[in-house]
Amino acid sequence: MLEKGTIAPDFELNATPDQKIKLKDFKGKKNVILAFYPADWSPVCSDQMALYNEMLKYFTKHDAQIFGISVDSTWCHLAFEENRKLHFSLLADFEPKGTVAKAYGVYDEKTGTSERALFVIDKEGKIAWSYLSPIAVNPGADGILEALEELDPQ
């Protein structure tokens, strides 16, 4: 798993069938939170993404944009976002499967899914904080908020 101080690997993933998100587009503009998770619709993942949805105003206060990333398809993500009323994008690390999770060192070869991992990337594109959570445990948002507070220039 990539650690603090590492340059975050750039990527381009679909948020919708016709919209791609590139990490480099946020460089110099926003802090980025990447929330890798195993699968849409699983109970822990559902709770985790719902929590981040509730935390959006706090992330915005720290000039941060959050993205959920899993190996599910764009269509699966869109259905999940709509069902759970999420107000942030889920990115499809679908084909080639798990490429971005592998680049960040959080792909589980045995299950073919992402591990449950969090990264806060600063505006310069460096990893400011990372955390690997047990697969059955919602990692919450405290670590994310602490990392964002450390990045605040105030």
Q: What would the pLDDT profile of 93-130 be if each residue is shown by its tens digit? A: 999 999 999 999 999 999 999 999 999 999 999 999 99
Cα torsion 97, 99, 100, 101: sign: positive
Residue 37 has pLDDT above 80, yes or no: yes
53-82 b/e with 16+ CB inside 10 Å = b? bebeeebeebebbbbbbbbbebebbbebbe
Domain assignment present for residue 47? The answer is yes
Of these residues, 45, 128, 145, 148, which one is catalytic?
A: 45
Domain assignment present for residue 16? The answer is no
pLDDT digits (tens, 9 = 90+) for 65-95: 999 999 999 999 999 999 999 999 999 999 9
Provide the residue range defining the domain that includes 101.
29-151
Q: What is the CATH number of the domain that holds 127?
A: 3.40.30.10
Domain assignment present for residue 2? The answer is no
Total domains in the chain come to 1
Distances 3 to 17, 66, 129, 137 between C-alpha atoms, Å: 31, 18, 7, 20
Domain assignment present for residue 81? The answer is yes
Residue 154 has pLDDT above 90, yes or no: no
Domain assignment present for residue 38? The answer is yes
Q: In the structure, what pLDDT confidence band is assigned to residue 18 with cuts at 50, 70 and 90?
A: very high
CB 89, CB 68: distance < 8 Å: yes
Domain assignment present for residue 20? The answer is no
Query: CA neighbours within 13 Å on the CB side: how many for 19?
Result: 8
Q: Which residue has the tokens 């084909």?
A: 95
Domain assignment present for residue 139? The answer is yes
pLDDT at 152: 83
Domain assignment present for residue 55? The answer is yes
Q: What is the pTM of this model?
A: 0.97
CB 86, CB 79: distance < 8 Å: no
Type of residue at 33:
I
Nearest residue to 7 via CA among 153, 124, 132, 136: 124
d(CA 118, CA 37): 9
Residue 144 has pLDDT above 80, yes or no: yes
Residue 15 has pLDDT above 80, yes or no: yes
45 labelled catalytic:
yes
Angle between helices 43-54 and 74-84 (to 10 degrees): 60
